[in-house]
Amino acid sequence: MDYSLSEELEMIRTMVRDFASEEVAPTAALRDEEERFDRHLFEMMGELGLTGILVPELYGGLGSDALTNCLVLEELARACASTGYTLFVHSGLAGMAISMFGSEEQKKLFLGPMGNGQKLGAYAWSESTHTEGASGLILHTQALRDGDNYVLQGAKFFVTNAGDADVYVVFASTGNDAMSRESSAFIIEKGTPGFLLGKKERKLGLRGSPSMSIELVDCRIPIANRLGEEGDGLRIALQTLESARSGIAALAVGLAQAALDVSVSYAKTRKQFGKPIAQQQAIAFKLANMATQIEAAKLLTYQAAWRESQGAVGGAYSNLFAGDTAMAVTIEAVQIHGGYGYTKAFPVERYMRDAKMLQMIEATMDEERRAIARLMKMR
């Protein structure tokens, strides 16, 4: 088995790493502090082709595979996990949903501007409460057919990129009664009458990737904005999430690597009793364990990306292990920095906050364990 990356992939990794270190990392702490999305950075990523990494070449994107996407997200998260997560939602969720299930007209209309960084995408599935009916998950947001239109009523919560996004993939119930599981997906553009922005979430981590609620009040959109067939909502949501699942693991790997990098640097320069603390066995062993965990998480992530490119599943393993690794490594990073690790003088406290979010977004670690149990035929 060949575990080496091709020359092309190494060039992409180097290009993204240089961009991330020069343009993304210097302002990461400030954007976290101000809970601010930087549109200019997103536009710069568009100029480099990163916002169209998964968009087919036919529609102006790079048409890259899951492994290339993982390398991009890993390097961005190494500089700023918030920036990486913004791109993940834009291309891996909103863009991928349109790419996989959109009509030819929808692809031509939305994928080009999303791929070149002119338009930012968002993905709206979560609601404040979910109801489990006899047939499964029920959405309370309703989309009622009215002639050649749909009228949407309801609210969505924790919508990443909301407020700054231009294109929203929104899921709503299209069943005949309030307890129906049937749902559909819709493309709604910013500025559509009845599409309202709600409260901005004050989050523990990933603060540079804002999340807001959205409200739909008599929001009328044409049938042409429905994504896929009526009733395809759950299938679209699940297949989209599965197709990009390795992206979350890649973000966790990049974040963990950042925590290790700064910890190694600190341990080499911080002295106790006249010697760098890196020479202390306890610290050296901590760093060795961190590096080993990251290497294992990286291999699982790359394997998951390869499986995704083959149309197979298995991302739960990488997401679970990489998410737990990011949390464990960032906690150790704070510990190595001692009292300084608990302050904003060093970035490890931000890394730790971001790592916790990566254990919860898209699927919690317990949900990943349930998915693995199902793969093992234990449930």
Sign for the CA dihedral angle at 323, 324, 329, 332 comes to positive
CB atoms < 10 A from the CB of 272, how many? 11
Q: Is 189 a catalytic residue?
A: no
Q: CA nearest 187: which of 118, 129, 101?
A: 101
Question: Distance between CA 69 and CA 177 in Å, rounded?
Answer: 40
- Yes or no: say if 123 and 89 are a contact pair by the CB < 8 Å rule: yes
Catalytic residue among 47, 362, 367, 368: 362
For 120-164, give the DSSP string.
Answer: -EEEE---S--EEETTEEE---EEEEETTEEEEEEEEEEEETTTT
Question: Distance between CA 372 and CA 379 in Å, rounded?
Answer: 9
The structure tokens 């998950």 sit at 137
- Yes or no: say if 205 and 356 are a contact pair by the CB < 8 Å rule: yes
How far from each other are the two terminal CA atoms of the chain, in whole angstroms?
33
The structure tokens 């968002």 sit at 122
In this structure, what are the phi and psi dihedrals at residue 71, rounded to the nearest 5 degrees? -65, -40
- Yes or no: say if 180 and 133 are a contact pair by the CB < 8 Å rule: yes
Question: Distance between CA 117 and CA 213 in Å, rounded?
Answer: 23
SS3 category, 176: coil
Structure tokens belonging to residue 280:
């202390």
Question: Distance between CA 360 and CA 16 in Å, rounded?
Answer: 26
- The residues annotated with a catalytic role in the active site are 362
